């Protein structure tokens, strides 16, 4: 089973709240939370850039240490890349889909995703303390 819905971001600086609203809209549309977010490389890179340069954005992130499984905050001088998002409501993996336009992303619920020919692309997302973001260093 697979459901998809496209969204277009109007302001780069509001990407995190727009994504939150989009996840809620997706759930209202399909009664399933998305598990994949697809966007083109430029869209991913812009969001990644904003998270690394806008003061305070990294403070909203948490990462899970691969070795110890501990949940920690990234260091202020770390350049971060986020590869996924987990919350009590949903868990998203991020993928590149270059057929999408800039500022456009597609939320997907796929009960059996096949990742053979797709690239998981890091992307940051605003979270609260209960959420865990998978960060690639």
Q: Quick: pLDDT tens for 113-135.
A: 876 554 444 444 554 544 444 54
Name the pTM for this structure.
0.76
- The mean pLDDT value for 18-37 works out to 94
Find out whether 76 and 10 touch, Cβ atoms under 8 Å: no
Question: What Rg, from alpha-carbon coordinates, does the chain have?
Answer: 14
Question: What's the mean pLDDT when you consider all of the chain?
Answer: 81
pLDDT in tens, 63-97: 777 788 788 888 878 887 767 676 777 888 889 99
- The mean pLDDT value for 20-33 works out to 95
Share of the chain above pLDDT 70, in %: 80
Residue-wise burial string across 24-58, b where 16 or more C-beta atoms lie within 10 A, e elsewhere: eebbeeeebbbbbbbbbeebbebbbeebeeeeebb
Residue 56 pLDDT greater than 60, yes or no:
yes
Beta bridge partners of 109: 3
What pLDDT does residue 116 have? 56
């Amino acid at each position: 089973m697979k459901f998809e819905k496209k969204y277009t971001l109007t302001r780069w600086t509001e990407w995190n709240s727009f994504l939150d609203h989009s996840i809620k809209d997706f759930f209202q549309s399909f009664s399933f939370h998305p598990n994949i977010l697809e966007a083109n490389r430029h869209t991913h890179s812009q969001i990644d850039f904003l998270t690394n340069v806008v003061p305070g954005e990294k403070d909203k992130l948490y990462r899970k240490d691969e070795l110890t499984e501990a949940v920690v905050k990234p260091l202020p001088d770390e350049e971060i890349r986020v590869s996924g998002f987990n919350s009590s409501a949903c868990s998203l993996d991020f993928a590149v889909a270059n057929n999408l336009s800039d500022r456009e992303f597609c939320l997907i619920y796929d009960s059996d995703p096949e990742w053979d020919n797709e690239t998981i692309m890091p992307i940051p997302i605003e979270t609260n303390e209960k959420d865990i973001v998978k960060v690639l260093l």
